[in-house]
Structure 1
């Protein structure tokens, strides 16, 4: 079953909505962004989180010291790194974010645990609501069991993304927002669309 990551969370209510709607991963942005949060905020809004839900910290070209300090303070389970990648090993698994333009280099690195495909950055890395050219990527060349798909996903197009990529995780941020704020109805609709497509895929196997 395709899993769900709701990213750019900053309030307790949005966290609760994501969890109750069936999200598997919660994303928190520590890089410069309208959705930027502090480790203390994340700790506060994720108290009593079910152990099955994984917290992901999003960084852009960070230092190992910065990431490890945030992992400890926020209680992160994974980190997602855009921009320059770390050469050091971290204490939690790494999601390497790659911006897809006209061509895509094959996933050959073993230095990270997961790969996230995203749209090219605009003002900020990620969360820009843009869909990258899916046809620039051949899903058969990817290790789908560790593949995250992001970039302009919405309740309306996520089923098509799952059908094309068959990823481990679909990742959404701006696609479940209204006027720059998390929209609880859209979060629920996104999760429902993922579940429905997963059910259809399972039936057709």
Structure 2
């Protein structure tokens, strides 16, 4: 069986983090971007990370944050992985003492290939929907055919995923992991345990079904 990992992003409450863990999520995402409706304070984030059991990855999402701001966050919140969602260069993403993934907004396949090459030390790339002026969290899917077949880094697929479409997305894109936020919410930043379960059930179904044999088990 090939495994596709799942990340539930935009967690703002301990109970939602634990619901994600109970459903089988591999990672939870915490947004450190004040303009986001899913932003968390350092106190919230610290309490959520403290509540996580072993082997669940805590991911901190930043958008064009300065090095000092990232350092201040890490001094108070023991994050496992950093996710940069803005216009950061590779140099901006590196040197924080944590592995990182870079979010890229997809407009064309050639552009994505060029962007991936600019982050050779990233642990992976998160491919999201391009919407002018928005760094992510749009709730809209992009054209999955634009994902390169041989991207060179593990791909985390995001952008408009829901329990209704994630199985098809996995079967078509064959990503390392999938990332969801709005698709499992009842309100911005408030997750629904049933939708989280349904989402991860569909991820597992994609891996277990006949098409699952075609999913690439990429590794970090």
TM-score, structure 2 normalization: 0.85
RMSD of Structure 2 on Structure 1 (CA) = 1.8
**1:22-171 matched pairs, under 5 angstroms:** 22-31=24-33, 32-86=35-89, 87=91, 88-103=94-109, 104-106=111-113, 107-108=116-117, 109-121=119-131, 124-138=134-148, 140-143=149-152, 146-171=154-179
Match of 2:206 in 1: 197
CA distance in 2, matches of 1:121, 1:63: 23
Distance 2:58 2:48 in 1: 11
> 1:81 and 1:203, CA in 2 relative to 1: closer, same or farther beyond 3 A?
closer
**More contact order relative to length (CA 8 Å, sep ≥ 6):** 2
Deviates more, 1:166-175 or 1:194-203: 194-203
Cα displacement (A) at 1:123: 6.0
Q: Residues 112, 204 of structure 1: CA spacing in aligned structure 2 closer, same or farther, 3 A cutoff?
A: closer
| Matched-pair contact (CA < 8 Å) for 2:171–2:212 | no
C-alpha separation between the residues in 2 aligned to 1:202 and 1:137?
18
- State the Cα distance separating 1:133 from its structure 2 match: 1.3
C-alpha contact 2:49 2:78 (8 A) present in aligned 1 = no
Instruction: Find the aligned partners of 2:107 and 2:144 in 1 and give their Cα distance.
Output: 10
Do the aligned residues in 1 keep the contact of 2:62 with 2:85 (CA within 8 Å)? yes
Q: Please give the TM-score of this superposition, normalised by the length of structure 1.
A: 0.91
The alpha carbon displacement at 1:18 in A equals 0.2
Pick from 184, 196, 206: which aligns with 1:187? 196
Equivalent residue number for residue 9 of structure 1: 11
Per-residue deviation at 1:204?
4.1
Equivalences, count = 203
- Please state whether the residue corresponding to 1:164 is helix, strand or coil: helix
Query: Is the partner of 2:122 in helix, strand or coil?
Result: coil
